[in-house]
Amino acid sequence: MRCWYIPHDPDHFRQALATLKQVAWVDFSAVFHKTTATDKLVGKSVKVKKTLSVEAEKAMQKFNRWLLSRRYSSNTIKTYMDAMRIFLRFFHDKPISHIDNEDVIRFNNEYIHAGKYSASYQNQVVNAIKLFFRSVEDRKIDPDLVHRPRPEKKLPNVLSKEEVKRIIESPRNLKHRAMLSLIYACGLRRSELLNLKIEDILKERMLIVIRQSKGRKDRIIPISSRLMSILEEYVKLYKPKVWLFEGQRAGEAYSEGSLQAVLKQSVQESGIKKPVTLHWLRHSYATHLLESGTDLRYIQELLGHKSSRTTEIYTHVSTHSLQRIRSPFDDL
């Protein structure tokens, strides 16, 4: 049938996306929405065409060039491009020049709300739409008329130190153990770990340099002697050429999908039943630092947060002070 088949599960999708990330744009919306061409939303059929019109395709190419020229990150470009493709397919029978604020509100109600998409996804779509019309159409979508969801106030998921230890010690493969250890020990994002190069480890100063991370910022993080020993043992055994963690081919960075698979396997072998993600290790690092008495300002620097408000969320999950509170129930 001149096609490939892969198992229908999130891990295989992530691996496929990671493999094709640098060479192609992947539209897998039809996989998750079996009625892509005719999504039944809010009690009526809303036509969502599978392909873009010639006009929309040209506009998308212009939008992509504009984002590249402004040096948006690859992840941001993909997010905005994906959002705009869905939006323009939704209004496939309407010229772009005729789309207005009412259409954005309709899209929110008939596609996002009816499809039960998250509030964060809705915000991403609204941001993409505003930027698209400002850069491509040279006109603004009035932000006061675009309905934005109230931000969800969710607490970060945090593991205990014992749970983290079980996950990190589960892999028998030294490379896998080194990757998970480094994410937790330095509070790294997934992309930060995968973008590390050998020269970013400063052995003499016991530091690790994170270059051009989120917000295009550099930062340095101290490394413990125990972690340095693990990394030295790993480098001596695997001899990476360019990236600190490489895939099966020398000089090729380790893939996001493979890293996710490493964590999933480690969590299963540790016997932990929680739906742990790589970001849980970063949350746990920050919370454990706070509970050990580290100043919030230092934690903000270590995590690379632009605003202290982002870091302050960890005060709500730290149990250091909460455990000192005596319940009135005990006095009954």
Q: Assign residue 47 the CATH number of its domain.
A: 1.10.150.130
Q: Which residues contact 129 (CB under 8 A, 6 or more apart)?
A: 83, 84, 87, 104, 141, 146
2 in any annotated domain: no
46 in any annotated domain: yes
Residues spanned by the domain of 210 = 161-320
Residues 165 and 253 in one domain: yes
For residue 172, the SS3 value is: coil
10 in any annotated domain: no
Residues 188 and 261 in one domain: yes
Euclidean distance between CA atoms 77 and 68, whole angstroms:
8
For the segment 204-254, what is each residue's pLDDT rounded down to a tens digit? 999 999 998 877 788 999 999 999 999 999 999 999 999 999 988 888 889
Residue 46 main-chain phi, psi, to 5 deg = -110, 120
Residues 129 and 179 in one domain: no
pTM: 0.66
Residues 180 and 296 in one domain: yes
Residues 176 and 308 in one domain: yes
Active site (catalytic) residues:
189, 214, 279, 282, 305, 314
Q: Assign residue 242 the CATH number of its domain.
A: 1.10.443.10
For the segment 32-76, what is each residue's pLDDT rounded down to a tens digit? 544 433 333 333 435 566 678 888 899 999 999 999 998 888 888
For the segment 290-315, what is each residue's pLDDT rounded down to a tens digit? 888 888 899 999 998 888 888 888 88
Residues 203 and 293 in one domain: yes
For the segment 12-30, what is each residue's pLDDT rounded down to a tens digit? 777 777 777 666 666 655 5
Q: Could you give the number of structural domains in the chain?
A: 2
